[in-house]
Amino acid sequence: MNKIVLITGASSGIGYETAKMFVKQNDIVINISREISQVCQHNFTADISNEEQLDQIFTQIKQKFGKIDILINNAGYGMSGITELLKSSECKAIFDVNFFGTLNCIKKALPLMKKGGKIINIASAMALFPIPFRALYGASKSAVLSFSYSLRMELAPLGIDVTTICPGNVKSNFTKNRIKNFETSQRYGRRIENATEKIDKNDDKRMPASCVAKHIFNQAKKKKSKPMTIVGRKYKLLYFLTRITPKSWLLNLTEKIYGGKF
């Protein structure tokens, strides 16, 4: 029987590639995004941090489909900048989309989900391995991961499964669309620019979005998913190392590599 699959941010990147897989097996795929998805059968343009817009959309989904079988919270964006110099509005905005947007969609989808339903939240490897000058992005994705663990326990007795995907670096428009705030001061110098250049120069080595989509699709098909899936071999290795070594080891190493110093 065809599933009703709702994906946020399915107009490009990971969301787009994931939508293609569900469409291929004849599921009904709904996209909620700022842009239209060329692969989804049904599109709603909205800002997921806007609850009024979501109320209207989920009312229409209920009227048309009556249920949601799978919810994939993929929409989000990145931001780099010196934490001390970021505007409060910038800090709030990234949480409004990355965390509260996810929360909004879950709260509105749950009344339409029954036993056997599945919620898949897309966090980031940065939720596990934070780096300098990406503090707010990492914090927003860490919040998604922690929240997902709690929600998994809350919904288990209802038969609704919750899992989180933590991808590493992915080839997509995410890097291009990331907000880059290069405002600095005398004591930080060019560290933010140096750190950003060092990370972004490896864009060609990033994994394809389809690789992450396969993991999402596979978890969606399982009756009982894992609480969290890390995508990317080096990130799995790092996660293993952090469990057998002091936390200070990883933080010191990361600061030396990505702290913006030569």
Q: Which residues are catalytic?
A: 137
Round to whole Å and give the CA distance between 236 and 245: 14
Say which residue the tokens 């995907």 belong to: 165
The DSSP code for 41 is: S
Max distance between CA atoms of the chain, in angstroms, equals: 62
Say which residue the tokens 């428009």 belong to: 173
In the chain, % helix, strand, coil (3-state, to 5) comes to 50, 15, 30
210 backbone dihedrals φ, ψ, rounded to 5°: -65, -30
Contact 169, 129 (CB under 8 A): no
